[in-house]
Amino acid sequence: MIEIESVRLAYGDRTVLYNISLSLTERRVGIIGANGSGKSSFARLLNGLVLPSSGAVRVDGLNTRAKGKEVRRKVGFVFQNPDNQIVFPTVAEDLAFGMKNLGLPKDEIARKTDAILARYDMTDLRDHPAHLLSGGQKQLLAISGVLVMDPAYLVLDEPTTLLDLRNTRRVAAALDALDQTVILVTHDLDLLVAFDRVLVFDEGRIVADETPTKALAFYREHMA
């Protein structure tokens, strides 16, 4: 469970989140809102990339302020632009990076690399230059690089924004098949239809917290 208790977040004199309190227990949670509404800042709070100005964020009882490293082991984060996460020359090297940092043995790194490449039909791309992949392949590589670390939660900040329809559907299918809890920030409302819960942000506050049907209807009316 992820708990957010009386959280306020400010950058200098600008407050971007006001007094947010809620618990996330569902398997699939969507986050929507206009640009600048605070949704991406909220997502970054969930694994300690950003710390609250006041209040607390806890993941399975671990406070992000005191236990940031442990929290980031539990909560993987995927950015909108996969080039921000891909750091090594080839696909296999990039996948191995995080596992090496954990001190995993070579045979386990090889096994997990093989498994994740097979899972997303990228086995033949093992030695391919990572930055020459297609947009959809890059996003799947970024997701794969997080998943090989075995997080319990996966937070994704607009992962399909730069993708065409075909690759958006490919990423959506990959997310749907995951066992992990998925928390998805997106402007693509169709991705959230089968989710368990959707939060709507506006001007740093949660203005709706409902099932997808109710939350999406509220958001469309609110934006109109």
pLDDT tens per residue across span 154-165: 999 998 888 888
Query: Which two structure tokens, joined as six digits, stand for 22?
Result: 């809620």
pLDDT tens per residue across span 24-49: 999 999 999 999 999 999 999 999 99
> Which structural domains are found in the chain, ordered by start?
2-223 (3.40.50.300)
Cα separation, 137 vs 130, whole angstroms? 9
Query: Which two structure tokens, joined as six digits, stand for 19?
Result: 């007094």
Q: Write down the pLDDT at residue 89.
A: 92
Beta strand segments in the chain, E: 2-11, 14-24, 28-33, 54-59, 62-63, 75-78, 153-157, 181-185, 197-202, 205-210
Residue 207's pLDDT band, with cuts at 50, 70 and 90, is very high
How much is the mean pLDDT over the chain? 92
pTM of the predicted protein model: 0.91
Residues in CB range of 81: below 8 A, 6 or more apart: 162
pLDDT tens per residue across span 41-98: 999 999 999 999 999 999 999 999 999 999 999 999 999 888 888 989 999 999 998 8
Residue 102, pLDDT above cutoff 90:
no
Q: Write down the pLDDT at residue 114.
A: 93
| Count of beta carbons in the 10 Å neighbourhood of residue 40 | 19
Residue 162 dihedral angles phi and psi, to the nearest 5°? -95, 5
Q: Which of 184, 186, 191, 197 is nearest to 23 (CA)?
A: 197
Q: What percent of the chain has pLDDT over 70?
A: 100
Q: Which of 105, 101, 139 is nearest to 120 (CA)?
A: 139
Residue 195, pLDDT above cutoff 90:
yes
Please indicate whether residue 162 or residue 200 has the higher confidence score (pLDDT). Answer: 200
